Amino acid sequence: MNKKVLIVGTGLGGLATALRLTTRGYEVEMVDKYHQAGGRLNRILKDGFEFDMGPSFFSMSYEFRELFQDCGIEIPFRIQPLDPLYAVYFSGRKNPFLIYKDLDRLAETFKIVEPDFRRHADRYLAQAREIFHDTEYRIVKRDFDSRLDYLLGLTRVPIKHAPGMFTSMWNRLGKHFSSEEVKVIFSLVAFFLGSTPFETPAVYSLMNYMELQHDGYWNVEGGMYRITESMVRLLEERGVKFHFNTEIVQANIAEGQLHSLTDHQGRKWNADLYVINGDAASFRGKIFKRKKFSEARLDAMDWTLAPFTIYLGVNGKIPQLHQHNYFLGNNFREYADTIFKSSMAPQKPYYYVNVSSKSNPQSAPAGCENIFILCPVPDLRFKKDWSDAEPLADQIIDDLSTRLNCNLREQTITRTVLTPVDWMEQLNLYRGSGLGLAHGMNQVGGMRPANHDEEFRNVFYVGASTVPGTGLPMVIISSKLTTKRIEDYARTV
């Protein structure tokens, strides 16, 4: 068969699939709506500062190693383990909690608020560890041909984990820990899934095992965009052509197959196989006009929180900040219960702050820091109007300044604010949802939009809204599953 593949989207999912397919002899061409590669794994260069636009760290570093090994290449960037993993600041509390992987050290951190931390953590993490290893190969890293296949897959997971599908992460934490601070900190991983711990099933406590005992978190030397840059370079060396500022807006069907795609300027793009790295749910609705993915049906699905992001280049060093920081208030439950569905900007927002210049000094001019602030907010189904973006950014920056005892507004050299509208318009993120479809039990495994198309045998999907889910390592796993699908298909034609 002919082996020309068009990949729509140059996010990590698209790039990783392109690497795997070129390794297997396919000829690949890539188009993207955005002006440069990376999708959410992107960067902003402004006034001498470099900011990671989205992701700032990742777990499961071995998935990156596996990808490059599979392609016969040395890993083309250097990664650094984080230790401490992050710092958590509660309002009204002077010093942050530093979250170390070493549980004895962590017990020392928590000794005032949770005196028996080590014993409680050992029990909690032992259970989380079992969930991780009992589901890793049976569910997360495998594909399902149907919902039935998925349900059969679930029966291979030991039954003792079943309650974890029906109770929340917050409830489970309450069974193990008494201190509010420990429960809140352990439940932050739910936000990595784009949800709150009150909605996230307890089985995702496996993420606490991943951060504290398994592989931890990693940074990239020189900044996260080195991942994108190095992958693009490798692909160009393999003859892959990239076309940016090219949005696919229409599908052309012939004989039950996808025949070509049309971009916003009316240009046609032909290939034997198509891999869609744009959102696997909304692409089906918008481009393939599938009823199951109509706007009304998409709006009824569960989507992850939207990002409100601020990129601040400041004059002067901020020694009070660590590289990865969370700034939280004292009304966690109330805040988490309202942020999802409010039509208002959050009052006293909770937010994450990353300062990559701490370990990558070249990402800011000498004596300066690059500060990235991420505040999870409702998606555009709930809050459509973001004309209040600048006052909200001011409010967050002022709150951060007060907590750090400095004046970031006065120190600011450059400032960029992205609202959910920007994220939607720039990268086609549905309703501005930051991480794609949510990960409740009704939207994972065989219940998630599949990585092969229901009607066109020559169309496949890769990325955050297909299997297994969102986050950089999951998207790398997704590229592996999609490549396997393509190879299986190629054997039949």
Ligand X SMILES: Cc1cc2nc3c(=O)[nH]c(=O)nc-3n(C[C@H](O)[C@H](O)[C@H](O)COP(=O)(O)OP(=O)(O)OC[C@H]3O[C@@H](n4cnc5c(N)ncnc54)[C@H](O)[C@@H]3O)c2cc1C
Please report how close the Cβ of residue 208 comes to ligand X at its closest, in angstroms: 16
For residues 196 and 277, which CB has a smaller minimum distance to ligand X in the complex?
Answer: 277
Tell me, what amino acid is at 347? Q
Interacting positions 133-162 with ligand X (CB under 6 A): none
**Interface mask (CB under 6 A) for ligand X, residues 26-65, using x and -?**
-----xxxx----xxx------------xxxxx-------
For residues 277 and 419, which CB has a smaller minimum distance to ligand X in the complex?
Answer: 277
Please report how close the Cβ of residue 309 comes to ligand X at its closest, in angstroms: 6
Near ligand X by CB under 6 A: residue from 189, 240, 314, 374: 374
Query: Closest Cα partner for 232 from 18, 402, 416?
Result: 18
Interacting positions 291-320 with ligand X (CB under 6 A): 307, 309
Please report how close the Cβ of residue 480 comes to ligand X at its closest, in angstroms: 13
Please report how close the Cβ of residue 116 comes to ligand X at its closest, in angstroms: 32
The answer to whether residue 435 forms part of the interface with ligand X (CB under 6 A) is yes
Q: In angstroms, rounded to a whole number, what is the distance separating the alpha carbons of residues 147 and 155?
A: 13
The answer to whether residue 10 forms part of the interface with ligand X (CB under 6 A) is yes
For residues 80 and 411, which CB has a smaller minimum distance to ligand X in the complex?
Answer: 80
For residues 90 and 351, which CB has a smaller minimum distance to ligand X in the complex?
Answer: 351
Q: In angstroms, rounded to a whole number, what is the distance separating the alpha carbons of residues 230 and 268?
A: 29
For residues 107 and 280, which CB has a smaller minimum distance to ligand X in the complex?
Answer: 280
Torsion of CA 405, 352, 14, 433, to 10 degrees: -130
Phi, psi of 271 (to 5 degrees): -160, 170
Q: State whether the Cα torsion 248-485-429-56 is positive or negative.
A: negative
Near ligand X by CB under 6 A: residue from 84, 432, 434, 468: 434
Please report how close the Cβ of residue 160 comes to ligand X at its closest, in angstroms: 29
Please report how close the Cβ of residue 56 comes to ligand X at its closest, in angstroms: 5
* Total residues at interface with ligand X (CB under 6 A): 36
Segment interacting with ligand X, rule: CB under 6 A, options 12-20, 139-147, 208-216, 251-259: 12-20
For residues 10 and 127, which CB has a smaller minimum distance to ligand X in the complex?
Answer: 10
Tell me, what amino acid is at 198? F
Please report how close the Cβ of residue 394 comes to ligand X at its closest, in angstroms: 20
Q: State whether the Cα torsion 232-233-234-240 is positive or negative.
A: positive
The answer to whether residue 420 forms part of the interface with ligand X (CB under 6 A) is no
The answer to whether residue 393 forms part of the interface with ligand X (CB under 6 A) is no
Distance of CA 362 to the CA centre of its chain: 25
- Which ranges of 98-219 does DSSP label H, i.e. alpha helix? 103-109, 117-135, 147-155, 163-166, 169-176, 180-186, 189-192, 206-209
Near ligand X by CB under 6 A: residue from 219, 277, 360, 458: 277
**Interface mask (CB under 6 A) for ligand X, residues 227-266, using x and -?**
--------------------xx------------------
For residues 127 and 208, which CB has a smaller minimum distance to ligand X in the complex?
Answer: 208
Identify any residues that bridge with 52 across adjacent strands, giving them in sequence order: 43
For residues 127 and 360, which CB has a smaller minimum distance to ligand X in the complex?
Answer: 360
The answer to whether residue 85 forms part of the interface with ligand X (CB under 6 A) is no
Phi, psi of 94 (to 5 degrees): -70, -50
The answer to whether residue 437 forms part of the interface with ligand X (CB under 6 A) is no
The answer to whether residue 130 forms part of the interface with ligand X (CB under 6 A) is no
Identify any residues that bridge with 353 across adjacent strands, giving them in sequence order: 325, 373
Near ligand X by CB under 6 A: residue from 5, 6, 7, 14: 14
In the chain the first and final C-alpha atoms are separated, in Å, by 7
For residues 127 and 363, which CB has a smaller minimum distance to ligand X in the complex?
Answer: 363
Contact yes or no for 394/409 (Cβ under 8 A) = yes
Burial class of 320 by CB neighbour count within 10 A (0 to 12, 13 to 18, 19+): middle
Q: In angstroms, rounded to a whole number, what is the distance separating the alpha carbons of residues 411 and 325?
A: 20
Q: In angstroms, rounded to a whole number, what is the distance separating the alpha carbons of residues 390 and 395?
A: 9
The answer to whether residue 70 forms part of the interface with ligand X (CB under 6 A) is no
Q: In angstroms, rounded to a whole number, what is the distance separating the alpha carbons of residues 29 and 47?
A: 33
SS3 436: coil
Phi, psi of 363 (to 5 degrees): -85, 5
Near ligand X by CB under 6 A: residue from 19, 475, 476, 486: 475
Query: Closest Cα partner for 125 from 216, 210, 217?
Result: 210
Q: Say which residues have a Cβ less than 8 Å from residue 58's Cβ, sequence separation at least 6.
A: 64, 217, 218, 471, 472, 473
Task: Give me the residues that bind ligand X (CB under 6 A), please.
Answer: 8-14, 31-34, 39-41, 54-58, 247-248, 277-278, 307, 309, 374, 427-428, 434-435, 463-464, 470-472, 475
